[in-house]
Amino acid sequence: MYSVPSVVKKSVPTGLKTFFLPGPTGRLEALLNEGRSDATHVALVCHPHPLYGGTMHNKVVYRAMKAINSFGFPALRFNFGGAGLSEGEHDRGQGEVDDVRAGLDWLHSEFHKPIIFCGFSFGAATGLRAACSDPRVVGLISLGTPVAVEDRVYTYQFLHDCTRPKLFVSGALDQFSPEDKLRELVNLAAEPKELVLIPAADHFFEGHLPEMQDTVHHWVARYFQPGKQAEAS
């Protein structure tokens, strides 16, 4: 049976900042869930495919953000170019990598703290490409990692050299991430890494969002909660 060890969740500021951050082809609509003034880390959370309704308000993205923000870590979300009020247009993942870099740059200039990256589906595939090679990123969370999507090819060879802690979370019934293909992907990745399959969940974790959120929360606590870094090293 699926279970995640319980973690004490602390209350954090609930401030929400709406703004536009500078992107590679124009302004990107953004939201910052504020954190504690003594936060040790910040986070970037990226949304699924914009051509299929993906925005920063996606339920999976929101739940993952709440899991990370619960530690008092400021958490940034933004809409990829052409989504919501963001300028630009969808660029089949090429321009979106630069959008992610713009988000990382903004977090660094604003906070100068280590960054935790989290992405869902297209946001994971795109964001990992930018975050894995960025020394400012200290941990990566990939939700619903797409590996077998009709008319789109996702490759992850770069994970072989990505030595930061990595968490992969997918539904056991994910239609875009068959278990055998997903395990091949995770096997390719450098250590440290962890794969969690949520029983009976599909790509969107429909009906299983709490399990996904708890998995993210527990992993962040293990690696990045203040006082736990030494334990994880």
For 43, the enclosing helix (H) or strand (E) is strand 42-46
Task: Characterize 197-207 residue by residue with b for buried, 16 or more Cβ atoms within 10 angstroms of its Cβ, and e for exposed.
Answer: bbeebbbbbee
Strands 26-33 and 115-120: what pairing? unpaired
What stretch of H or E contains 193? strand 193-198
What is the helix (H) or strand (E) element at residue 115, kind and residue range? strand 115-120
pLDDT, position 227: 60
- Enter the tokens of residue 92: 């089949």
Res 52: pLDDT: 82
What pLDDT does 82 receive? 84
pLDDT mean across residues, the chain: 89
Kindly state the helix (H) or strand (E) to which residue 159 belongs, with its residue range. Answer: none
Nearest CA to 215 out of 76, 64, 47 is that of 64
Sign of the C-alpha dihedral, residues 100, 59, 34, 115?
Answer: negative
**Tokens 């979370």 sit on residue:** 169
**In which residue are the tokens 């019934």 written?**
173
What local confidence, expressed as pLDDT, does residue 225 receive?
A: 87
Confidence of residue 155 (pLDDT cuts 50, 70, 90): confident
Instruction: Please give the model's pTM, rounded to 2 decimal places.
Output: 0.90
Task: Place 14 in a pLDDT band, splitting at 50, 70 and 90.
Answer: low
Instruction: Let me know if 66 is exposed, middle or buried by CB neighbors in 10 A (0-12, 13-18, 19+).
Output: middle
Whether 21 and 108 have beta carbons less than 8 Å apart is answered as no
Residues 63, 26 contacting (CB under 8 angstroms): no
Q: What is the pLDDT of residues 76-120, one digit of tens each?
A: 999 998 888 898 776 555 778 999 999 999 999 999 999 999 999
> What does R_g of the chain's alpha carbons equal in angstroms?
16
